Amino acid sequence: MKYTQPVYRPPYEANTLLLQVTVGCAHNKCTFCTMYRDVRFSMEKIDQIEKDIKEAKQLYEDVKRVFLVNGDAFVLYASRLKPIADLIVKYLPNVEVITMYASINNIKGKTDEELRELRELGINDLWVGAETGHDKTLQYLNKGFSLQDSYEQLERLNKAGIRFLFGFMFGAAGSGKGIENAIATAKLINTTKPIGIVPTTLGANDNSQLAKDLEGGIFKLATELEIFEEQKKLLELIDLDKVSYLGIHTINTLSFDALLPRDREKSIKRIEDAIEKLDDNFLNSVPERHSI
């Protein structure tokens, strides 16, 4: 099967068939990200995609889930995604879920009817990089969409019946603003009702705009203690029934999964125990993080 590096996927898709449909990231301008900075965005040819699906059929007996790579594969027009979904269903009839990374703008670029059609074809799960519910923070991150867009487009997914996982970053607002960010992000989560929330932690990748802003004193990263307090506040404020907290990304200092509200108190206690046990020098430091 063809893969053009670099290839990224959520930790939770480790056992999922990866099918390349795009290369790089169509936006590729986020303040914090350098994952695809040196990769020119392109679309994979449909003949190659069909070839890869046929190969997957020979390699794997019972594929249930397919993850379309790369960085924001949902950027493809519905007219491009439909034949891809048709091919998956044709050759891999047991597939139950077709999923991929998506940005808010990717959703915005499709009509309500197109979203429903994609859902009917099996594209029924998206990993959406919302990043934050805090307006000024979102502007700084340069995601290319507004907070109002986040509220409107995630609701459109709900109406179309497409489930989504809400990706965001602790520390995205910077030092001194973690609680403010948690409150605003919890509001967005509670309003839009994702099936899961997926936290990572902001880090300064070399040669990113964020790294330059740190050097110039424009931005200040949150300390580890601030990250813990932000995480605790978010867990306190999530008010959804049976929503998964998928926090095992290796960039998170305290990595764990939970089901809310069932595991709320246990999760908060885990954070409080970490604060109590960890050295003050570490809590007041900003550990290096170079991946998201």
Does some domain include residue 289?
no
Q: Provide the domain limits for residue 195.
A: 11-283
Predicted pLDDT at 292: 60
Query: What confidence tens digit (pLDDT) does each residue in 120-148 have?
Result: 999 999 999 999 999 999 999 999 999 99
Query: In terms of C-beta density within 10 A (0-12 exposed, 13-18 middle, 19 or more buried), how is residue 87 classed?
Result: middle
CA distances from 14 to 67, 174, 184, 266 (A): 10, 31, 31, 27
Predicted pLDDT at 291: 62
| Model pTM score | 0.96
CA atoms within 13 A on the CB side of 25: 23
Query: What confidence tens digit (pLDDT) does each residue in 161-191 have?
Result: 999 999 999 999 999 999 999 999 999 999 9
Torsion angle in degrees (nearest 10) through CA of 185, 109, 82, 101 = -30
Predicted pLDDT at 208: 94
Instruction: Count up the domains in the chain and report the number.
Output: 1
Does some domain include residue 39?
yes
Question: In this model, does residue 230 exceed pLDDT 90?
Answer: yes
Does some domain include residue 131?
yes
Does some domain include residue 2?
no
Strand-pairing partners, residue 128, are 102, 166
CATH classification at residue 73: 3.20.20.70
Does some domain include residue 46?
yes
**φ, ψ dihedrals at 244, nearest 5°:** -80, 135
User: Residues near 120 by Cβ (< 8 Å), separated by ≥ 6?
Assistant: none
**φ, ψ dihedrals at 131, nearest 5°:** 75, -40
